[in-house]
């Protein structure tokens, strides 16, 4: 199997977790989707879920770009740049997941203690939030890998980035309006 398909398989595994978590939560009468303000942070999915996906996408791109620049500044470039290595992609994705876990800890401890957050997240919400960050990182990993495979994918990479930004903002605004109205 080509290493290029690893992030797609990881995404599949993460999607299975995202499907199973709300099913289990529903068994315990936890809402699956937050349609009202009181359900935010309790339901498996709320309007912040799209923000978590976009954070995973953006953080992977940021970490990848930073790591790639450092590698090309410190090493001897070849033809004219060093192509990213598979283990670097794994490291960058792991950084995304670690930051997601740290964010959930900070969100449910420090932000709660300083009264920015009024309620702890449910276990289902925390699991889906971290998983969605990971899915965003996998999507960026795959698109970044495509970018380095061929010049014909370069345009697709930028179109993907613009579409993610536009759709993310639109969906975030629509879900936020529906939930808080």
Write the pLDDT tens digit of every residue in 71-120: 777 766 555 555 678 888 899 999 999 999 999 999 899 988 888 887 88
**Distance (Å, rounded) from C-alpha 166 to C-alpha 157?**
14
- How many separate helices (H) and strands (E) can be counted in the chain? 6, 0
**Distance (Å, rounded) from C-alpha 103 to C-alpha 165?**
21
Question: How many CA atoms lie within 13 Å of 30's alpha carbon, on the beta-carbon side?
Answer: 20
In angstroms, how far is CA 104 from the centroid of its own chain? 13
pLDDT band at 16 (very low <50, low <70, confident <90, very high): very high
pTM attached to this predicted model: 0.81
In 75-151, which ranges are continuous DSSP H helix?
A: 86-108, 110-113, 123-149
Q: Say which residue the tokens 């996998």 belong to.
A: 138
Taking only the tens place, the pLDDT of each residue in 139-165 is 988 888 877 765 556 666 667 667 777
Strand, helix or coil at 62?
Answer: helix
């Amino acid at each position: 199997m080509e290493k290029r398909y690893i992030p797609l398989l990881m995404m599949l595994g993460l999607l299975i977790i995202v499907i199973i978590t709300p099913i289990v939560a529903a068994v315990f009468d936890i809402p699956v989707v937050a349609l009202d303000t009181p359900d935010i942070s309790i339901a498996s999915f709320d309007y912040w879920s799209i923000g978590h996906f976009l954070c995973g996408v953006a953080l992977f791109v940021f970490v990848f770009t930073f790591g790639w620049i450092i590698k090309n500044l410190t090493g001897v470039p070849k033809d004219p740049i060093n192509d990213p290595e598979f283990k670097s992609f794994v490291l960058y994705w792991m950084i995304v997941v670690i930051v997601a876990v740290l964010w959930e800890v900070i969100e449910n401890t420090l932000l709660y203690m300083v009264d920015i957050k009024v309620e702890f997240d449910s276990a289902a919400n925390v699991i889906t939030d971290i998983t969605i960050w990971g899915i965003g990182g996998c999507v960026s990993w795959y698109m970044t890998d495509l970018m380095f495979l061929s010049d014909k994918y370069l345009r697709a990479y930028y179109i993907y980035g613009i579409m993610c930004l536009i759709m993310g903002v639109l969906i975030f605004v629509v879900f936020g309006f529906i939930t808080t109205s």
